[in-house]
Amino acid sequence: MDSSAELSIRGADGTYPVVVRAGALADALPAFVGARRFSRIAVITNDTLAPLYGEALVGRLPDAFLITVPDGEAHKTLSTATALYGDLLAGGCDRSSLVIALGGGVIGDLAGFVAATFMRGVAFVQAPTSLLAMVDASLGGKVGVDLPQGKNLVGAFKDPLAVFADTATLRTLPPIEWRCGLAEVLKAGLIADPPLVDHLLACGPEPVEEIVTRAVRVKKAIVEQDRLESGVRATLNLGHTFAHAIEQVSGYAWKHGEAVAVGLVGAARLSVRRGLASPTLAETVERAVIALGLPARYAGLEPAALWDAMRHDKKWQGGTARFVLLREPGAPCVVDGVPRDEVIAVLESLREGT
Ligand SMILES: NC(=O)c1ccc[n+]([C@@H]2O[C@H](COP(=O)([O-])OP(=O)(O)OC[C@H]3O[C@@H](n4cnc5c(N)ncnc54)[C@H](O)[C@@H]3O)[C@@H](O)[C@H]2O)c1
Ligand SMILES: [Zn+2]
């Protein structure tokens, strides 16, 4: 496969390019923006990424200025959004301005929400810098902020004009964030790209541009079929029912990607238990998770408490136990009405020391 790639995603009003290439922040993004007219360009980033990439990017764009928010999910809030509206006004932005989100999924969601709502919506470009944002958060048009009551409770659908995933930025990504992104790459392979799973097992997560591009293709195919999340997009939730329960019951001591890794093993074991898949599926998923340096087990959490957390999952409409399961890599299915004792048995088997 080509080591760099340009893909495109069909969104609400047309198609937008997704450029996956080392150096895209230095060439492709400035060229794209320079070919269009914007009254002002606001690059929204955080205080970790501003010195690494933000200042250089602003220097390459006409009429651009940098807005920096503090790093962390704790700042993906309406009060940060309010501050950003003020910064946009102070910087002279109007309806013909452009907002660029430069950062991980937190910045993409937050800046995208601001772009969707400032003056009823301004042009928006995604420049994801974390692996998770490149393969997941920057694609598909969902943007939003958290409320004290829960994550992503206020949001919008906002397609970007383009996505520029500069894989060179991944060199400074903390190793734990890299591994968490790999959990989503593995998820993408399990949903729709079995050769990607084989590649991760045989060669590890290199070359980076290739694994990012392949995971982007999976998400592209799914969101194009189901832009407003009614059906097939649910398969992107593979491993996530388990993961959300682990995150929640641990009081968010678990990182999302690590919880997804355990959740992928859980979904595979549940698939085997229900006779959907052969035992080799669970072995393959567990081997891949371990090969990527991710956890396959959890400790210190009660299976009954995890089940209770799952019951409150907003995707379990009417209280029916809904899981995305696998017949084999590349063949997901949504299964309703999974009995409690089967889920508990799988949760028991995922406990460390069992
Ligand atoms: N909109 C969607 O469809 C969607 C999908 C999945 C996740 N999300 C959201 O994405 C967020 C998680 O995204 P994330 O995992 O990228 O977290 P994040 O944005 O918090 O980034 C993780 C950490 O890595 C740092 N970082 C990012 N890129 C870096 C780089 N190149 N070099 C050095 N440090 C870097 C960040 O500053 C941060 O400290 C959550 O808020 C989640 O809700 C949204
Ligand atoms: Zn996820």
58: left (phi over 0), alpha (psi -120 to 50) or beta: alpha
pLDDT of residue 310 exceeding 70: yes
Do 39 and 62 contact (CB within 8 A), yes or no?
no
Q: Which of 75, 158, 237, 273 is catalytic?
A: 237
CA distance 17 to 136: 15
CA distance 187 to 105: 17
Do 43 and 129 contact (CB within 8 A), yes or no?
no
Query: Is residue 152 within 6 Å of ligand 1 at its C-beta?
Result: yes
pLDDT, one tens digit per residue, over 191-218 is 999 999 999 999 999 999 999 999 999 9
pTM for the model stands at 0.96
Residues of the chain above pLDDT 70, percent: 96
pLDDT of residue 115 exceeding 90: yes
Q: Is 347 helix (H, G, I), strand (E, B) or coil?
A: helix
pLDDT, one tens digit per residue, over 56-109 is 999 999 999 999 999 999 999 999 999 999 999 999 999 999 999 999 999 999
CA distance 51 to 75: 19
Do 69 and 46 contact (CB within 8 A), yes or no?
yes
Residue 165: phi, psi to the nearest 5? -100, 100
CA distance 233 to 212: 19
- Higher pLDDT among residues 13 and 176, named by residue: 176
Do 151 and 145 contact (CB within 8 A), yes or no?
no
Distances (CA, A) of 123 to 32, 36, 86, 92: 13, 11, 17, 15
Mean model confidence pLDDT for the chain: 95
Query: Is residue 247 within 6 Å of ligand 1 at its C-beta?
Result: no
Query: Is residue 223 within 6 Å of ligand 1 at its C-beta?
Result: no
Provide the pLDDT confidence category of residue 6 given band limits of 50, 70 and 90.
low
What residues are paired with 145 via a beta bridge?
154
Q: What is the pLDDT of residue 13?
A: 84
Do 334 and 234 contact (CB within 8 A), yes or no?
yes
CA of 302 to the centre of ligand 1 (A): 29
Q: Which H helix or E strand runs over 103?
A: strand 98-103
Q: What is the pLDDT of residue 163?
A: 98
- Residue 48 CA: which ligand 1 atom is closest? 37
Q: Which H helix or E strand runs over 8?
A: strand 5-11
CA of 274 to the centre of ligand 1 (A): 34
Any idea which ligand is nearest the CA of 135? 1
Q: Domains in the chain, start-ordered, CATH in brackets? A: 5-172 (3.40.50.1970), 175-349 (1.20.1090.10)
